[in-house]
Chain A
């Protein structure tokens, strides 16, 4: 017990220090959490100047916290999913989101096949490189003040579209990957959709009941209820072979129809932040840096191709929103960061653990997210220099 508690203490303190450092430098915290996980984890680098750096093992406790990180990231994604916004702006959002998907998911498929990956492996890879990071992007938008400009429309719209798509994508992929032959695959897809269908029905028709169920004047009872129900639903989903992340997403959309959203934002968000930080940290723990070196060629190709891909598709999306050239270019730059959802997909892949999904894809994803989250934030910070160079000076 003492050893485990000490390990978890070291882990959480390391995460806190890494976050503080990243904040001071003005970079996203996600890569910082991963790097600190790599440093203090069991994989190399395992010592510095003769002092052992093998401080934290990938214990079951940390794995559970990390799992809760995934669950709550997706729960909040569902919670903040703005159905009204989507319906009000569906034309432009689906146009921008469609272009975004076609270009970037398409690129992922092309890269996967070019490197000789199987269909299932390629589909996972395409998901990893397709999905932008809501966390990194919204933070950058606020810091740069873009949030108040017109370019925020297509950027946020594209993110909303990606959110739905990722829920559907995870549901299908988890189900297909769970089954071996066609029959069991069909069975698990069926189970998944029955379960999610049930959740959706509760979400839509039971919002009044959900509203009453969570109603309490005590913050303590409130957070216990939310965390309890969310974890229970996610666990039940996983036991049935359905993606726990998707189940949490659907539960979140259900609760988003109630009056509790603001309160969850206030009271439950800190819990999500702790779990999510441990999730990024545990990704670092399980990462073998030497494996990343092995996928260097794939990494280089993916970084260049998908940076250009997002930049072009985003710039093109600006047209659906009648933006001028400079703002369209900003949309392109703004969508480059990749982060938390790519890691969620890689974790799901590692859980299936066949062929390249067990080793190559997780290592690739860590390297890819480290590069893309930092590169993406830097591109947004330097946007004015870039747009000036591309002949779209500020008016």
Chain B
């Protein structure tokens, strides 16, 4: 594979990449960060413009091509900011303090200020759970509260030794 580099005065740099014996990709790097990519099916053909990217997009696409682009999602740390309050998904562990209690008995709102807005149980979701809903081990509680409130609440649902 050969890469040819040429300066284009007033514009930027041009790179020509041999894909195989005949096909070629031509990448034009503009001074302002814009990138244009052309494709030549064979050396004698006219290049056709495939796409134009801004500098930021070009870097992301480049990372994907390198196989270096991923945005890890930590399921137990997903947070959606809502001003001061955030939404957090919490796993209820076997020996959590709440296991077996209904939401009403637990009186969570008074104790911690956190509201439970949904419960995910296996593949089911219980939206807006009422006070009669029982918390069981393995549930995922979708909760709403400030960072401090949630920290306090977390102590109730997760195992003591974590």
Contact = CB atoms under 8 A, between A and B. Distances in A.
Contacts of A77: 9
Nearest to B31: A265
Interface residues on B, range: 20 to 34
A181 B111 CA distance: 102
Contacts of B40: 148-149
Contacts of A84: 7
Given A145-B49, A148-B14, A82 B31 contact: no
Contact of B46 (A145, A159, A160, A262): A145
Per DSSP, chain B at the interface is strand
A217 interface: no
A148 B43 CA distance: 11
Contacts of A311: none
Contacts of A85: 6-7
A136 B4 CA distance: 25
A395 interface: yes
A265 B28 CA distance: 16
A134 interface: yes
Interface residues on A, range: 20 to 34
Per DSSP, chain A at the interface is helix
Interface centre among B28, B38, B47, B48 (most CB of A within 10 A): B47
Nearest to A269: B31
Contacts of B38: 145, 148
B63 interface: no
Interface string A75-116: 011001110110000000000000000000000000000000
Interface centre among A147, A152, A324, A394 (most CB of B within 10 A): A147
Interface centre among B10, B16, B43 (most CB of A within 10 A): B10
Contact of A159 (B9, B14, B43): B9
B44 interface: yes
Given A148-B28, A262-B31, A135 B45 contact: no
Contact of B28 (A76, A82, A142): A142
B7 A149 contact: no
A156 interface: yes
B44 A324 contact: yes
Contact of A138 (B9, B32, B46, B49): B9
Interface string A263-296: 0011001000000000000000000000000000
B11 A138 contact: yes
B10 A134 contact: yes
Contacts of A269: 31
A153 to B, nearest CB: 8
B154 to A, nearest CB: 43
Contact of A149 (B6, B10, B31, B46): B46
A160 B7 CA distance: 11
A120 to B, nearest CB: 30
Given A138-B11, A142-B28, A395-B45, 15 more contacts: A77-B9, A80-B10, A84-B7, A85-B6, A134-B9, A138-B8, A138-B9, A142-B36, A145-B49, A148-B14, A148-B16, A149-B47, A150-B43, A156-B9, A324-B44
17 contacts: A82-B7, A85-B6, A134-B9, A134-B10, A138-B10, A145-B48, A147-B26, A148-B26, A148-B47, A149-B40, A156-B8, A163-B9, A262-B31, A265-B31, A265-B32, A394-B46, A395-B44
